[in-house]
Amino acid sequence: MIPRTGRILALDWGLIRFGVARSDETQVLASPLGTLTRRAGKRFPMPPFLALLEAEPVVGIVVGLPISLEGSETDSSTAARALADLVGRRTGLPVEMADERFTTAIALDAVREMGGSTRGRKEEVDALAATVLLQQYLDHRRESA
């Protein structure tokens, strides 16, 4: 279980890019941190991720769980669960999964709402999707406490 104080890092799972976000120390506010990219067909970019953790000490990690609109798990769900297991073993940190349905759609809507274009901004959108994922996780934890 992730402690209730200290920074949390979130990974919004993707086939190519992983959006990354972090919380503040009080776990109230999430903010985008960037993206991690893997080459097609390759493994998760663990060395840059571990370097990120050295620069951003955290108490836990939230990995987005991609599930279908109906709520069932998919092949991507299985891959995300394997990633969560790998990240937990490599870092020794607690890892929790969180439903990532609609995070990218919410991020895209937010960019458009501010009058921006999403063309050529995939990395920013992925980082924002991770921020949405983490903010939803933080809000849910606070409401259920």
pLDDT at residue 120, rounded to an integer? 55
pLDDT in tens, 113-128: 666 555 655 667 788 8
- pTM of the predicted model, to two decimals? 0.88
Which residues of the chain fall short of a pLDDT of 50? none
pLDDT in tens, 58-69: 999 999 999 888
Q: Which of 97, 92, 90, 124 is nearest to 13 (CA)?
A: 97
pLDDT number for residue 21: 96
**Could you tell me the two tokens for 76?**
């991507």
pLDDT at 144: 87
Q: What is the pLDDT of residue 140?
A: 92
How confident is the model at residue 24, as a pLDDT? Answer: 97
Per-residue confidence (pLDDT) for residue 139, from 0 to 100:
94
Model pLDDT, residue 112: 64
CB within 8 A of 38, min separation 6: which ones? 16, 17, 18, 44, 45
Domain boundaries, the chain: 8-143
pLDDT at res. 90: 96
> Which CATH code is given to the segment(s) 8-143?
3.30.420.140
pLDDT score of 121: 59
